[in-house]
Amino acid sequence: MSKEPFIGMDPEEFRKTGKEVVDWMADYLRDAEKYPVFSRVKPGDIKGQLPAAPPSEPEDMESILSDFHRIILPGITHWNHPGFLAYFANSASAPGILAEMLATTLNVNGMLWRTSPSATELEEVVVDWFRQMLGLPAEFHGIIIDTASVSTLVALTAAREAAHQQVRERGLSGRADLPKLCLYCSEHTHSSIEKAAIVLGIGQDGVHKISSDAEFRMNTGALATAIEKDRRDGWLPFAAVATVGTTSSTSIDPVPAIADICQREKIWLHVDGAYGGAAAILPEMRYVLDGCDRADSFVTNPHKWLMTPMDCSVLFTRHVGTLKQAFSLVPEYLKTTDGSVNNYMDWGVQLGRRFRSLKLWFIIRSYGVHGLASMIREHCRLARHFAARVQADKDFELMAPVPFSVVCFRYHPAGISDESSLEHMNAQIMDRVNAGGEIFFSHTRLNGHFTLRIAIGNIATSENHVNRVWELVKAEGDKLKQR
């Protein structure tokens, strides 16, 4: 088969195959539940079915699609399955998928305003809608980045720039004039903060982890003491990261008190609301972002809890000038004469940028703010419903408060206090339920205890699924008791 020079396929064949693919997508999204949620393949199973070398001659779409179904699908863990309750469950909503198809078709690179004015201007508008939805102040300007990990890296680079140590120009290594830079976060902070420090040359030694209270929130007294001591010891504190919705337990750090300390100490406050931030679109949950209006930067991920297909993270900052000072570097071939427009390539690491604002625009318009809020409200209700069942059962215990849609709990029957037995039993419960194919959930560790974790975040997860996971977990617990 010869390939059309432009789109790599005869346009009529593209139309026909495209319709078949969309038909399959619609069936898949409707029937996601018929697949085992957790892929059952063994390591190497998929690779073993794929040729080690690329084909030298063109292959037809029929055989490529047939291999997609036969080889690739069995190795998929179905994040679209309503029984997906692991990590932070997410949703690829239909409006988001349609927008992704269009964005891919247009294939624009939104690096400069002129490389697609709509990409830049839609991003500016949609990100500002999102700011309003979250109740953040008008001084915050936003940019869409792939992930919260990279958003945080970008934010902390700006924070390093704000410390006025000329790191952009002179680097960090071999500088006798430069004190050691450090930043603060709680012991429950996401690993992306430490990774950003690694990339930024701060090093893991420069990440000073602050203890937390019984509800996994940063101890602000300990933060103030650490900054004071570090200054005495010759460190240069330059940033603190607070989290709204920590990864393990979804705890909320006391942002207002952290903001007071950062203001007093003149250090950058970055707030990681990758998961929890979205809840602020509910009027009754707006309090989760208390104090975030005083942050220097704030990140939240529509691809976590806002029905947006991977990937989409929004970074807000009130210091666009500092961000640009940290990153803007314009070679001759990218120079433009119109100084009045926004070129998003100046705001971060990457030059090429996908047209991600299109999906956020489709989603916000097709659900409306109220529609998005009701989904999050329902997820939080389901989490409280599950937590109530855990609390009512004498063989189980809740391991953390439930401020959002995640429940941390464990099996802990009377008479068993040995931690390694408890860990073994809980791991067994999790593995057995996950092997069934109906539900997939994951674990974490809190205060040293192996903890089961149910994360409700999929658009199709209903009370029936939440009741079912409880039934399955309970049944596995009962089996352990009978042994």
Smallest separation (angstroms) from ligand PLP to the CB of 314:
11
Residue with tokens 């001759």: 332
Among 192, 219, 308, 434, indicate the residue that binds ligand PLP (CB under 6 A): 192
Burial class (CB in 10 A: 0-12, 13-18, 19+), 483: exposed
Binding mask 69-88 for ligand PLP (x = CB under 6 A): -------------------x
Give the nearest distance from C-beta 301 to ligand PLP in angstroms.
Answer: 5
Question: Please, what is the minimum distance in Å from the beta carbon of residue 250 to ligand PLP?
Answer: 9
Nearer to ligand PLP, 115 or 301 (CB): 301
Q: Indicate whether 251 belongs to the interface with ligand PLP (CB under 6 A).
A: no
190 binds ligand PLP (CB under 6 A): yes
Residue in the structure block whose two tokens are 């919260």? 148
Sheet holding 440-446, edge to edge: 84-85, 440-446, 449-455, 406-411, 396-398
How many residues touch ligand PLP under the rule CB under 6 A: the total is 15
| CB atoms closer than 10 angstroms to residue 361 | 18
| Spatial CB neighbours of 37, under 8 Å, sequence gap ≥ 6 | 77, 78, 81, 83, 84, 437, 438, 439, 440
Among 93, 115, 116, 149, binds ligand PLP (CB under 6 A): 149
State yes or no: residue 356 binds ligand PLP (CB under 6 A). Answer: no
Tokens coding 307: 């029905």
- By beta-carbon proximity to ligand PLP, the closer residue of 148 and 200 is 148
**In the window 271-290, what residues touch ligand PLP (CB under 6 A)?**
272, 274-275
C-alpha torsion angle, residues 109, 113, 118, 120 (rounded to 10): 80
Part in contact with ligand PLP (CB under 6 A); list of ranges 70-78, 267-275, 281-289, 382-390: 267-275
Our CB check for ligand PLP shows the closer of 275 and 362 to be 275
Candidate residues 120, 247, 317, 458; the one interacting with ligand PLP per rule CB under 6 A: 247
Q: DSSP for 439-453?
A: -EEEEEEETTEEEEE
Instruction: By CB under 6 A, tell whether 217 contacts ligand PLP.
Output: no
CB environment 283-319: b (16+ within 10 A), e (fewer)? eebeebbbbbbbbbbbbbbbbbbbbbbebbbbbbbbb
Segment holding 152, helix H or strand E: helix 148-162
For ligand PLP, the binding residue among 300, 313, 426, 451 (CB under 6 A) is: 313
| Phi, psi (rounded to 5 degrees) for 257 | -70, -35
Is there binding between residue 305 and ligand PLP (CB under 6 A)?
no
Where does this chain touch ligand PLP (CB under 6 A) — which range of 44-52, 114-122, 156-164, 240-248? 240-248
Q: Dihedral of the CA atoms 381, 385, 391, 396 (nearest 10)?
A: -110
Residues that bind ligand PLP (CB under 6 A): 88, 147-149, 190, 192, 243, 245-247, 272, 274-275, 301, 313
